[in-house]
Structure 1
Amino acid sequence: MKKIKFLIYFVIVSVLPLNSCQDDFLDKPALGVLDEAVLANREGLNGLLIGAYSQLNGSPAALWFASPSNFLFGSIAGGDAHKGADGGSEIPMDAIMRMTVDPTNGYINAAWNYYYEGVTRANSVLRVAEQVDDIPDEELANIIGQARFIRGHFYSYLKKMFDNIPWIDEHTTDFHQPNTVDTWPMIEADFRYAMEHLNETQPDVGRANRWAAAAYLAKTYLYQEKFQEAKEIFDQVISSGVTSNGLTYGLLPRFQHNFDAAMQNNEESVFAVQMVAQDGTNDILNANVGDMLNFPYGGPFSCCGIFQPSQDLVNSYRTNAANGLPYIHDYNQHEVKHDMGLSSSQPFEPDAGPLDPRLDWTVGRRGIPYLDWGNHPGNDWIRDQNYAGPYAPIKNVYRQETQDQYASFYSWAPGTAINLLIIRFSDVLLMAAEAEANLGNPESGGSICEPGQEQGGQSRWICQEIHQ
């Protein structure tokens, strides 16, 4: 028997070199990959769709490299926050913060891979949807609309971050595509289809609905300075929009409830990435791990002081005592008092001047209640004041009273069940005001818009966030 086996192995080994250069030998399907045809039914297609939604919260390979909050390429690169901790931690973030980044920066590649993975998952849904024959047309259109919404979301991030990007869709077979084609029209088409085919409400609150797609479409127009098109869609969203669970859009009476896991999926949530903690799976990846580094350093939190709001952001919350409105052009000339250079044992009195009350639900600062954890102590919760300033983040932080419900703990950093809001209704109002102002209708934006510098011969406007 052993001799027979030996002969068989010998023949196989002998034949391999003869066939190794032939295409039919090399052209084999990947092992362990499920054929898409097996998924061409209601259950399989919905499974693929859920997989596409799951990419909204990143992946184990991305984590904070490409958080759905976009804190690194948004707030830190934009000046709302500093890369905190100290100079020896997460060094590639420094280059992004200082605008000295180059293609060797690993965070750039991680973001690219993360966003295109989202595109790939959405494309898988759309490709398999063409093979499904056991789903009614209206239900199938709703699934396709969700997949195109998700694809539009990821392409929107790619376009804003990289500008020149290749367009890969469900029919692409040659992935060596040029990046010379403007992708905004295709992104528009995805959101337009979603707006026209998605249900007004959905069975699961985390699914995109018609009005979320409409808001995203209008936002896409706004980025292209198509102000009239944006205004028309924003008007519809403001007058008729509802959440996926059927709540009429509106502003919450309390600003802080937007960032409280016990109060989420409310009337201000246009589209949110759903987070969950303590769900019995022991899987922290279901929580908001993209922001797991962004907690105060020290105190009751285990990590890591990376994200620290800037003085520039804090100063923008200073209000004029005469009318209660923010300063627009010269807010940095009305600096908010801080405890820079002071230890937590040294006396300090917080700023006594007029401030927008939303400041202290956005920024942790010394001497002010920090959720229900007591007053922020200042330097004891800051890793290195001299490196990144005296402030701490707060929006992504869980509350002490409910941490057993809404916080999950990795070996060295926490995740939370606080949803990540991609679009809030207050964002819609602000963007609508931006469109109105640029159409020459500043009165429609109330007192939140003022003329700014002209660009390209066009009068530009600066719009502050809607006051609640």
Structure 2
Amino acid sequence: MMNKKYIKCTIAIVAMMQVFVSCKKDFLELTPKGTALEDNFYKNETEVMQGIISVYDVTQWGTTGGYTMKMPLLSAASDDCWAGGSNASDQPNWVAFDNFNMDSRIGPQGGLWNKNYTGINRANLILSKIEKATTLSAAFKTRVTAEAKFLRAYFYFDLVRFFGKVPLITSVLPTDELYKQVQATPAQVYTQIEKDLRDAFPGLPATISAGEKGRISMGAAKAQLAKVLLYQNDNTKLTEAITLFEDINKTGNAYGYALLANYADIFNPANKFNSESILEIPHSNNAAWSDWGWINGGEGNVGTQFIGMDSYNGDTYSSGWGFCPVTLDLVNVLKTDPRFAATIIDGAALKTAGATYNTRYQNTDYFIKKYAPLKAFRSASGVAEQNWPINEIEIRLADTYLMQAEALVKAGSNPTRAKELLDAVRARVGLGSVPVTLDNIYNERRLELATEGHRFFDLVRTGKAVAVLGAVGFKANKSEYLPIPQTEIDVTKGNIKQNPGYN
């Protein structure tokens, strides 16, 4: 979405974008334009729009501080997938997260910290500029302010789930404050997330026009807030969460959301921004990138390249790098489920049909299908491995159905509605009704959302992580969070403290 040349201070929380861009084909497709001093920029709506796109841009990033693409990385941390790769030393940060053997220097924490604080600082910068601007129309100012607040909340939601206590920064910091930051409690961070999302509601449209797909809608903001409320495990927040979910999930909702009739169509790259998609991170091979020095300069989904079969030769799929082989545990729970064929590639069956690929570390002969590299979508320009135009759906309607059903059961409220929601998800794939219990809802989440990056946080927030992941190294009161990057502790001279259990 933008040129990625920028000036970065040692500490991630003071990274600041210094290069600006111009529009190419649609809202989120941009190519380099030139440079400008920040003090002389953001003077009109065109420049402010470029600034808000630079905040959106960070949601695509997956290679800051190493390969830290959120969706496959979280699948590897869960019981859905293993880390994979050529060997245990291929991506040691992934393997460390896979077996919960991280320390302050080994693990994916550096990239995840840097990405999210870069997004937060860009949001803070554009909010400060919008506040001072005098040439913006009221409607434009309202909408971009809402988008910046949503995005700041989005980045903080990832940070608080990954790290727990993190610095809470809601303004552009003066130089003498850069290294004095201390951590806020998770409760304080969640309070800010909730405020930003509620503030965003009035400024966002109910639906997004065809030329602006990728921008945030009011429905996405409401879904994100409802999810934030549910994830806090605070029963006093369930009533608001249920109300928000119902606004999104009800038949004839204002946002145009509806379950697709065919489950596999959700993940067809030719069917982007479909009626089931609520929050979707776009990727494209427009302005195809070819610089391995900074893959974030492009807009492609490198995670797709990661999960493909190594040196694959056969029909349908393109070659990948062999990461995230699917666990036999997930295979066994899905093998009689109608969603198996749309979720998992059976490599052994492909070999029987004449295909070949290299077996790699932790190979099971089963691979992620939902975001797999497909020959039909391989980029013909730039470096194809960097430019997969396959979007990531972060929140979709079946997910919000199941979250609302969960909230209703926890609140002891409207079991009839909870049953309707759970039944609808199952009926879409031809499955019958089951009793509406938390265990059945959690089981349905695993089957419905497998390999989409939800499972690890679901296990943590429901208290099931030790039972499910303990055998592979997960430890209570430690592994729920990543370690704080040692570089952040060092540069703040210990103002930022390490999470419990790490050294």
TM-score, normalization by structure 1: 0.74
Q: Measured at CA, do residues 309 and 242 of structure 1 come closer, stay the same or move farther in structure 2, by a change above 3 Å?
A: farther
Q: Say whether the 8 Å CA contact 2:96–2:107 is kept in structure 1.
A: no
Name the residue aligned to 1:237.
248
Counterparts of 1:366 and 1:42, CA distance in 2: 51
**Which among 410, 430, 433 is matched to residue 438 of structure 1?**
410
Alignment of 1:98-247 (within 5 A): 98-105=99-106, 107-173=108-174, 174-175=177-178, 176-181=180-185, 182-203=188-209, 204-225=212-233, 226-239=237-250, 241-243=253-255
Q: Say whether the 8 Å CA contact 1:296–1:393 is kept in structure 2.
A: no
Counterparts of 1:129 and 1:362, CA distance in 2: 43
Q: Say whether the 8 Å CA contact 1:430–1:463 is kept in structure 2.
A: no
Q: Measured at CA, do residues 310 and 408 of structure 1 come closer, stay the same or move farther in structure 2, by a change above 3 Å?
A: farther
Name the residue aligned to 1:360.
341
- Work out whether 1:295 is the aligned partner of 2:295: no
Counterparts of 1:220 and 1:156, CA distance in 2: 7
Secondary structure, counterpart of 1:177 in structure 2 = coil
Counterparts of 2:148 and 2:435, CA distance in 1: 35
- Work out whether 1:89 is the aligned partner of 2:109: no
Q: Say whether the 8 Å CA contact 1:382–1:390 is kept in structure 2.
A: no
Q: Measured at CA, do residues 467 and 391 of structure 1 come closer, stay the same or move farther in structure 2, by a change above 3 Å?
A: closer
Counterparts of 2:349 and 2:386, CA distance in 1: 23
Q: Say whether the 8 Å CA contact 2:304–2:390 is kept in structure 1.
A: no
Q: Say whether the 8 Å CA contact 1:449–1:463 is kept in structure 2.
A: no
Name the residue aligned to 1:384.
360
Counterparts of 1:388 and 1:123, CA distance in 2: 44
Q: Measured at CA, do residues 59 and 101 of structure 1 come closer, stay the same or move farther in structure 2, by a change above 3 Å?
A: closer
Compute the displacement of 1:280 (Å).
Answer: 4.8
Paired amino acid for 1:393: I
**Which among 369, 380, 385 is matched to residue 394 of structure 1?**
369
Secondary structure, counterpart of 1:407 in structure 2 = coil
Counterparts of 1:59 and 1:367, CA distance in 2: 30
Counterparts of 1:430 and 1:220, CA distance in 2: 14
Secondary structure, counterpart of 2:442 in structure 1 = strand
Identity %: 23
Counterparts of 1:179 and 1:223, CA distance in 2: 20
Q: Measured at CA, do residues 102 and 262 of structure 1 come closer, stay the same or move farther in structure 2, by a change above 3 Å?
A: same
Q: Say whether the 8 Å CA contact 2:80–2:330 is kept in structure 1.
A: yes
Secondary structure, counterpart of 1:64 in structure 2 = coil
**Which among 56, 59, 77 is matched to residue 59 of structure 2?**
56
Name the residue aligned to 1:309.
326
Paired amino acid for 2:248: V
Counterparts of 2:269 and 2:374, CA distance in 1: 9
Q: Measured at CA, do residues 37 and 399 of structure 1 come closer, stay the same or move farther in structure 2, by a change above 3 Å?
A: same
Name the residue aligned to 1:462.
442
Paired amino acid for 2:437: E
Compute the displacement of 1:398 (Å).
Answer: 3.8
Q: Say whether the 8 Å CA contact 1:398–1:407 is kept in structure 2.
A: no
Which whole-Å deviations, capped at 9, do the CAs of 1:70-107 have from their partners, x for residues lacking one? Answer: x21x2111221101123231122111111111111152
Counterparts of 2:247 and 2:400, CA distance in 1: 11
Q: Measured at CA, do residues 434 and 409 of structure 1 come closer, stay the same or move farther in structure 2, by a change above 3 Å?
A: farther
Name the residue aligned to 1:76.
76
Counterparts of 2:253 and 2:198, CA distance in 1: 16
Paired amino acid for 2:201: M
Paired amino acid for 1:287: G
Secondary structure, counterpart of 1:130 in structure 2 = helix
**How large is the Cα RMSD of the aligned pairs?**
2.8
Counterparts of 2:160 and 2:241, CA distance in 1: 18
Secondary structure, counterpart of 2:117 in structure 1 = helix
Counterparts of 1:154 and 1:120, CA distance in 2: 10
Paired amino acid for 1:178: V
Structure 2, unpaired ranges of 5+: 1-17, 20-34, 420-433, 450-503
Q: Measured at CA, do residues 393 and 191 of structure 1 come closer, stay the same or move farther in structure 2, by a change above 3 Å?
A: same
Counterparts of 2:276 and 2:388, CA distance in 1: 20
Q: Say whether the 8 Å CA contact 2:65–2:111 is kept in structure 1.
A: yes
Secondary structure, counterpart of 1:270 in structure 2 = strand
Structure 1, unpaired ranges of 5+: 1-29, 319-354, 453-459
Counterparts of 1:360 and 1:407, CA distance in 2: 25
Name the residue aligned to 1:286.
299
Counterparts of 2:345 and 2:260, CA distance in 1: 21
**Which among 351, 358, 379 is matched to residue 407 of structure 1?**
379
Compute the displacement of 1:125 (Å).
Answer: 1.3
Q: Say whether the 8 Å CA contact 2:325–2:368 is kept in structure 1.
A: yes
Name the residue aligned to 1:3.
none
Counterparts of 1:113 and 1:448, CA distance in 2: 43
Q: Measured at CA, do residues 53 and 228 of structure 1 come closer, stay the same or move farther in structure 2, by a change above 3 Å?
A: same
**Which among 413, 424, 429 is matched to residue 401 of structure 2?**
429
Paired amino acid for 2:57: S
Which whole-Å deviations, capped at 9, do the CAs of 1:321-378 have from their partners, x for residues lacking one? Answer: xxxxxxxxxxxxxxxxxxxxxxxxxxxxxxxxxx112112111114557xxxx97768
Compute the displacement of 1:315 (Å).
Answer: 2.2
Name the residue aligned to 2:262.
254
Compute the displacement of 1:449 (Å).
Answer: 4.0
Paired amino acid for 2:359: R
Q: Say whether the 8 Å CA contact 1:451–1:461 is kept in structure 2.
A: yes
Counterparts of 2:353 and 2:398, CA distance in 1: 28
Compute the displacement of 1:235 (Å).
Answer: 0.6
Counterparts of 2:396 and 2:172, CA distance in 1: 33
Number of aligned pairs? 379
Paired amino acid for 1:180: A
Q: Say whether the 8 Å CA contact 1:211–1:241 is kept in structure 2.
A: no
Paired amino acid for 1:236: D
Counterparts of 2:273 and 2:319, CA distance in 1: 28
Larger radius of gyration: 1
